[in-house]
């Protein structure tokens, strides 16, 4: 029979495992809901604000702030998954799907923050004003291509987070 201290450590580990699962669910739910809100708000914002420059500045700031939130969520997800792995000693079954989905979601966020957004900011500065730039301006075309990539990567991260939420703990 295990000693009293061994039993209490086992209970503590079980509580940590439950807490890690709750943290994972919370982070993924916030990720999915926040991204959905962004995807729904962007077209409305750009349709209602006459100036593309003003709409872009407002939405860009919203994206920047949500990206910071996703960085914190990414850290919490990594810590929670490590706690789970420490207790369970590996992935199995649905947790494999969840683990891969979390990895993809975090990777998309890192790629957006470290590669795509800085390039978009550089190109946006080269365009000057979107209100006056012609549709065939080479910098505007480059921005449009980066914007499409950004949207696809954001959507991939959203889908990955949703998969992780469905198959998670």
For the chain, what is the radius of gyration of the CA atoms? 21
pLDDT at 5 over 90: no
Instruction: List C-alpha distances in Å: 126 to 75, 90, 116, 143, 155.
Output: 34, 48, 15, 9, 26
For residue 130, give its domain range: 4-167
Question: pTM of the entire structure?
Answer: 0.86
Q: What is the pLDDT of residues 76-123, one digit of tens each?
A: 999 998 888 877 776 666 678 999 999 999 999 999 999 999 999 999
Q: What is the pLDDT of residues 118-164, one digit of tens each?
A: 999 999 999 999 999 999 999 999 999 999 999 999 999 999 999 99
Number of domains within the chain = 1
Q: What is the pLDDT of residues 56-73, one digit of tens each?
A: 999 999 999 999 999 999
Do residues 49 and 3 make contact, with C-beta atoms less than 8 angstroms apart?
A: no
């Amino acid at each position: 029979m295990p000693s009293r201290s061994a039993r209490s450590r086992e209970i503590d580990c079980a509580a940590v495992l439950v807490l890690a699962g709750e943290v994972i669910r919370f982070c993924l739910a916030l990720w999915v809901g926040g991204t959905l809100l962004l995807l729904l708000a962007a077209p409305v914002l750009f349709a209602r604000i006459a100036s593309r420059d003003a709409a872009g500045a407002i939405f860009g700031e919203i994206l920047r702030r949500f990206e910071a939130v996703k960085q914190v969520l990414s850290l919490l997800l990594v810590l929670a998954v490590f706690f789970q792995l420490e207790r369970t000693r590996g992935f199995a079954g649905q947790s494999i799907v969840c683990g891969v989905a979390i990895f993809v979601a975090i990777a998309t966020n890192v790629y957006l923050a470290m590669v795509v957004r800085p390039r978009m900011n550089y190109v946006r500065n080269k365009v000057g004003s979107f209100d006056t730039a012609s549709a065939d301006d080479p910098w505007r075309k480059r921005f449009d291509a980066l914007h499409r990539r950004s949207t696809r990567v954001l959507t991939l991260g959203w889908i990955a987070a949703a998969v992780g939420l469905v198959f998670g703990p």
